[in-house]
Amino acid sequence: MNKNKDENKFVSQSRKGIERVYIGIFGRGNIGKSSLINLLTGQEIAIVSDEPGTTTDPVTKTVEIFGIGPATLIDTAGIDDLSTLGSKRFKKSIEAIKKVDCAILLIAGNQFGSYEIDLIRQFEKSNVPYLIVHNKSDISKIATYTKIFIRQYTNAKIIDFSTLHPTNKEELIEAIKEIIPENVYQQTSLIGDLVKPKDIVLLITPIDSEAPQGRMILPQNMTIRDALDNHCITIVVKETELEDFLKLNIKPTLAITDSRVFDYVAKIFPEEIPLTSFSIVFARMKGDFDQYIKGISQIPLLKDGDNILILESCTHQISCDDIGRVRIPKLLQQFTGKKLNFSFVSGLSEMPEKTTNFALVIQCGGCMITRKQLLNRIRSFIEKGIPVTNYGMTLAYVNGIFERAIKPFVKNKTDFSSKEQ
């Protein structure tokens, strides 16, 4: 890799601020995964013990790594535990691969076999760049025959290392930097291609039971910042003051509303002004926008007894007006006139085993996770032909304003207008 290019990647991200990089550490039990995390962070973050099975479920730690920057390290359980509990831990470790941007495969004592080969296949299946670190080199250095054997399965970089005597820590840091995908540091603007400097952007933000005390929710915060970064004149109002704003005869270039008040806003807001929602804006940046649009066509086809999966990207206290667990299920059943069954997955929790049972999957905007994590989350459903769509698009559809809500982002009119149902 070009060193200057690699250094420039890290210089540019420090000026703008980035999404932190997710780094997973994988390998057998008791080879130093937790010790490596403590070494990288300079803190006693992970519990270190010679007792097998010290790390059980994957442990996530958000830290600042000198030379890399903000990072989330995922310390996984050993993959060689053959007990019943161990198989469950192994499954969680494999699931963690879908959450990381890059991975470190840790080996020791010149052990490299079926466990490591399986991990490499999983990395490559999920398109996760990785390097191999042979730990405990102070006891036993990596042998030539081990390197030759590894090369039969991968061309990944191999580093001989010791967490106890880390004389080449800088080499390890540089190797990690090389496997971090550049798109982790790319700043994608939410609305930069829709506006120009001095344009007026109106953000309609309800403050209700879903709003955190004393602050705004993350999608609203991020959109405000993005509008300001694009040198727009940014106006924020609650929906209760929207009519008063309209009396000022100010014509915004773009209006973005919370999906929960889509219906009300669309009824009083001038048709000629582009209007969309925070969730749809994030759907374009984080998710598979085209698949979401296709997935909407499944709504009028839903039947009694169909199973719907609601995917939330964060964990939060559920309110009586929760958009994913209360509002969407209620409006979908009212719109279709069908009795539907709903399942919910919050955060980056494990997916249900029988995914083919679902007639539709509805994903939130994904403000709390990375684009890669979100795409990995919905990929298995798309590959199985299960329709997938988005919170904001669903709410726009059942309120009869789907065409208007996606119009700022698509050139051609779609065929999914709910007004025709």
Residue among 391, 146, 111, 120 nearest 278 (CA): 391
For residue 250, give the DSSP letter. Answer: -
* 383 token code pair: 């590959």
* 388 token code pair: 């997938």
Domain ranges for the chain: 3-185, 200-279, 296-420
Identify the band that residue 352 occupies on the pLDDT scale cut at 50, 70 and 90.
confident
Tell me the per-residue pLDDT of 112-137, one tens digit each, with 9 for 90 and over: 999 999 999 999 998 999 999 999 99
Please state, in angstroms and rounded to a whole number, the distance separating the CA atoms of residues 391 and 368: 15
Residue among 355, 365, 309 nearest 332 (CA): 309
Could you give the maximum distance between any two Cα atoms of the chain, in Å? 78
Please state, in angstroms and rounded to a whole number, the distance separating the CA atoms of residues 151 and 153: 5
Place of tokens 């409006």: 331
CATH for the stretch 296-420: 3.40.50.11410
Tell me: pLDDT of 157 over 70. yes
Tell me: pLDDT of 100 over 60. yes
Q: What is the pLDDT of residue 290?
A: 95
Q: Which helix or strand (DSSP H or E) is residue 256 part of?
A: strand 254-257
| CATH architecture under which domain 3-185 falls | 3-Layer(aba) Sandwich (3.40)
Tell me the per-residue pLDDT of 262-284, one tens digit each, with 9 for 90 and over: 999 999 999 999 999 999 999 99
The answer to whether 3-185 and 296-420 have equal CATH topology is yes
Identify the band that residue 334 occupies on the pLDDT scale cut at 50, 70 and 90.
very high
Place of tokens 């004149």: 233
Whether this prediction's pTM lies above 0.85 is answered by no
Q: What is the pLDDT of residue 211?
A: 63
Query: 406 near 393, Cβ under 8 Å?
Result: yes
86: Cα within 13 Å, side-chain hemisphere: 11
Tell me: pLDDT of 419 over 50. no
What secondary structure does DSSP assign to 108-177, as a single string? ETT--SHHHHHHHHHHHHTT--EEEEEE-TTT-PPPHHHHHHHTTT----EEE--SSS-TTHHHHHHHHH
Q: What is the pLDDT of residue 421?
A: 39
Lowest mean pLDDT segment, chosen from 158-162, 172-176, 362-366, 414-418 = 414-418
Please state, in angstroms and rounded to a whole number, the distance separating the CA atoms of residues 205 and 137: 56
Identify the band that residue 10 occupies on the pLDDT scale cut at 50, 70 and 90.
very low
Place of tokens 């970064």: 229
CATH for the stretch 200-279: 3.40.50.11420
**Helix/strand/coil for 412:** coil
Q: What is the pLDDT of residue 210?
A: 62
What secondary structure does DSSP assign to 19-47, as a single string? PPEEEEEEESTTSSHHHHHHHHHTS--S-
Place of tokens 């698949």: 291
Please state whether beta strands 69-75 and 59-65 pair in parallel, antiparallel, or not at all (unpaired).
antiparallel
**Helix/strand/coil for 310:** strand
For residue 214, give the DSSP letter. Answer: T
Lowest mean pLDDT segment, chosen from 145-159, 280-294, 337-351 = 337-351
State which amino acid sits at residue 310.
I
For 26-30, what is the mean pLDDT? Answer: 91
In sign, the C-alpha dihedral spanning 23, 29, 34, 39 is negative
Burial (Cβ within 10 Å: 0-12, 13-18, ≥19) of residue 137: buried
Query: 384 near 355, Cβ under 8 Å?
Result: yes
Tell me: pLDDT of 293 over 80. yes
Residue among 175, 170, 155 nearest 102 (CA): 175
